[in-house]
Structure 1
């Protein structure tokens, strides 16, 4: 009760005359308040630091995951590159060199003759040089029926060298148009393209 009376009788304008007990209690309250404020500030600071460390850790994890994905993609890309190099090498090996072109032209014409076609035109065109190979177009005009044409095209696809067909045009053989008979023979015009590998000197010129 004395302490309560001491608080009631306090003169706020003259704290120097306050009783020792009141001063002690106020000192303890202020000290505890300061301790609590310091503790709360320290805890808040530690929480902020912890949150920052967690963010940094998460960022490092994401960077690591990204690097792992890139590494996995890089390995897959290397495998694809190896497969492409092998496939490309196989294709290049199918390209004849300059000394083999004449034999390939004979193979193309022989394929048509074996299919029963009658050649009206077999005219190699000037080469078209590319980066590492040259295109060899051949104008072809043959007479025959659908079955023979199909056999010819299939035969070209079976040749050991690459031969492609372009601008294929089928029409009735002009000799049969006014004959009064059913059209049994057709005329086919097309461009057959084969390819040859350039030698080192030719590649340097490109």
Structure 2
């Protein structure tokens, strides 16, 4: 018996139910229009926060050691530059070959073979192998190798073979050393 046109005359309980329903509809509409969208954005922001936190925790140790890594890189670059300066340029290779020969003679060795081979080109340097065979005493070989290591340029010794000297009339204790001595030179910037 309630008429919508006479809502003002309705009993108090009916008015309260109608107001409660209207408030419920307004609240539901408010929730659907405003709050549900904000809740989705909040959940999305929480998920993004979780991902960023995990990324931060993964990257933080790297960032903490960044300065130490930079110092290490700078030290490696300086070391590389120092080593690069130990590589002779084209003009210095001839004098380096003379130094190798002079070092052997100063150690008291007699050169039987001193044969530079073809140069092989690497990424930023060229390698010049020299086959050598020298005869002398064992301690003279050690002095020779030590003298090569003391040269101001990089010289490495490979494929070392020491044998007793088999030549007729060889002195007692005479030995023969065969090795490949490799020296290196820096490639010119335009050759790279």
Q: If the length of structure 2 is used for normalisation, what is the TM-score?
A: 0.71
Aligned length: 184
Residue equivalent to 1:45: none
Q: Deviations over 1:19-43 (max 9, x none)?
A: xxxxxxxxxxxxxxxxxxxxxxxxx
Q: How does 1:108-123 map to 2 (within 5 A)?
A: 108-123=100-115
| Whole-Å separation in 1 of the counterparts to 2:59 and 2:180 | 51
| Whole-Å separation in 1 of the counterparts to 2:127 and 2:116 | 11
- In the alignment, structure 1 residue 92 sits paired with structure 2 residue 84: yes
Question: Which sits farther off after the overlay, 73-82 or 124-133?
Answer: 73-82
Residue equivalent to 1:4: none
Aligned-pair distance for 1:53? 7.7
Q: How does 1:1-206 map to 2 (within 5 A)?
A: 57-175=49-167, 183-201=172-190, 203-204=191-192
Structure 1: gaps (5+ residues): 1-49
| Whole-Å separation in 1 of the counterparts to 2:54 and 2:79 | 37
Q: If the length of structure 1 is used for normalisation, what is the TM-score?
A: 0.67
| Whole-Å separation in 2 of the counterparts to 1:60 and 1:171 | 68
Aligned-pair distance for 1:87? 0.9
| Whole-Å separation in 1 of the counterparts to 2:150 and 2:138 | 19
Aligned-pair distance for 1:91? 0.5
Residue 123 of structure 2: SS of its match in structure 1? coil
Could you say if the C-alpha distance between residues 99 and 51 of structure 1 is closer, same or farther in structure 2, counting changes exceeding 3 Å?
A: closer
RMSD: 3.9
Structure 2: gaps (5+ residues): 1-41
| Whole-Å separation in 2 of the counterparts to 1:186 and 1:54 | 79
Could you say if the C-alpha distance between residues 195 and 56 of structure 1 is closer, same or farther in structure 2, counting changes exceeding 3 Å?
A: closer
Question: Which sits farther off after the overlay, 149-158 or 56-65?
Answer: 56-65
Question: Which sits farther off after the overlay, 51-60 or 167-176?
Answer: 51-60
Question: Which sits farther off after the overlay, 61-70 or 153-162?
Answer: 61-70
Could you say if the C-alpha distance between residues 98 and 54 of structure 1 is closer, same or farther in structure 2, counting changes exceeding 3 Å?
A: closer
